[in-house]
Amino acid sequence: MILLDGKKVSEKVLADVKERVSGLKKQPYLVVILVGDDAASKIYVNNKKKAAERVGIRSKVIELPSETTEAELLDIISVLNSDNSVTGIMVQLPLPFQINKHHVFTTINPQKDVDGFHPENQGKLLTGIEPYFYPATPQGILMLLDEYNIPIEGRNAVVIGRSNIVGKPVAQMLLNRNATVTMCHSYTKDIDDIIKTADIVVSAVGKKIVRCKMVKKNSVVIDVGIFRDASGKLTGDVDFDFVSPSCGFISPVPGGVGPMTIASLMYNASKVY
């Protein structure tokens, strides 16, 4: 079993991004908008800001109160869209209930949409046209697979979870790389039997779902989930101790997909249109 070391690979990606940024004519400028006071979001946003500083990307966090209206947020995005110094805009999820995230992502200029969530970027991904940006977590997962020379073409990939942030775009990116992709979600029947067919498993659910004896020998297991278990320990979707002995490759939590997401976002933030 080989551990997919997201920490190590992310360092390499960040070093590449730093070099790329130093050679740019225009300094990238990432603006992150945080609405409300979700504790986890604050940590994520802070990590993004620190990563941006490390690679020489100018950044700013706009913190808005949880009672911000949708119209107020859309106005702020419009100002950022027309500010030529701003090259990347991202709005941290989750948003308070009064704000429709689809309205938000549709308002961001697709050429500044570093999350790759605008329907134009998602539609391009679906169609097989190069989007301005690929969503950070799926792109980070593919960077990780590529770094370990894990083949994708012709392999059976099972994606668990169908979110717009991870499940759907990662399935599409694997499909675009000629994998045979099966998507599983909360209504899927006999999920264990489907997981057993996978050469590559990507689990992005947020609860323990991939357990003992579910994975095929030598398969590649990517754990996107991150949450605290009953004892307060950070854990993922995969029962690591029981599953890892049968795997060819497995990503740990923490230290797998998490750091790759940040590095991949910095790669996106270094793209200036």
Looking at the annotation, which residues are catalytic? Answer: 48, 92, 115
Which DSSP category does 56 fall into? T
Residue (56 or 206) nearer to ligand GUN, CB: 206
φ, ψ (nearest 5 deg) of residue 223:
-105, 110
Binding residue (CB under 6 A) for ligand GUN from 115, 120, 199, 237? 115
Exposure class string for 125-144: b at 16+ Cβ within 10 A, else e: beeeeebbbbbbbbbbbbbb
1 neighbors 247 (Cβ within 8 angstroms)? yes
The reply on whether position 90 binds ligand GUN by CB under 6 A is yes
Q: At what angle do helices 167-176 and 136-147 cross, to 10 degrees?
A: 40
Beta bridge partners, 220, equal 200, 249
Dist CA 1 CA 88 (whole Å): 38
Ranges of beta strands (E only) in 102-184 are 156-160, 180-184
Residue (132 or 249) nearer to ligand GUN, CB: 132
The reply on whether position 143 binds ligand GUN by CB under 6 A is no
Residue (104 or 198) nearer to ligand GUN, CB: 104
Binding residue (CB under 6 A) for ligand GUN from 87, 107, 121, 137? 137
| Closest CB 148 distance from ligand GUN, rounded Å | 22
Only segment of 18-26, 89-97, 167-175, 209-217 that touches ligand GUN (CB under 6 A) = 89-97
User: With contacts defined by CB under 6 A, how many residues of the chain interact with ligand GUN?
Assistant: 8
The answer for residues whose C-beta is within 8 angstroms of residue 122's C-beta and 6 or more apart is: 116, 131, 164, 168, 169
**Rounded to the nearest 5 degrees, what angle is found at the Cα of 212, between the Cα atoms of 207 and 213?**
130
Only segment of 65-73, 84-92, 188-196, 213-221 that touches ligand GUN (CB under 6 A) = 84-92
| Closest CB 93 distance from ligand GUN, rounded Å | 4
| Closest CB 143 distance from ligand GUN, rounded Å | 15
Binding residue (CB under 6 A) for ligand GUN from 93, 126, 191, 272? 93
The reply on whether position 139 binds ligand GUN by CB under 6 A is no
Which residues contact ligand GUN by CB under 6 A? 90-93, 115, 136-137, 165
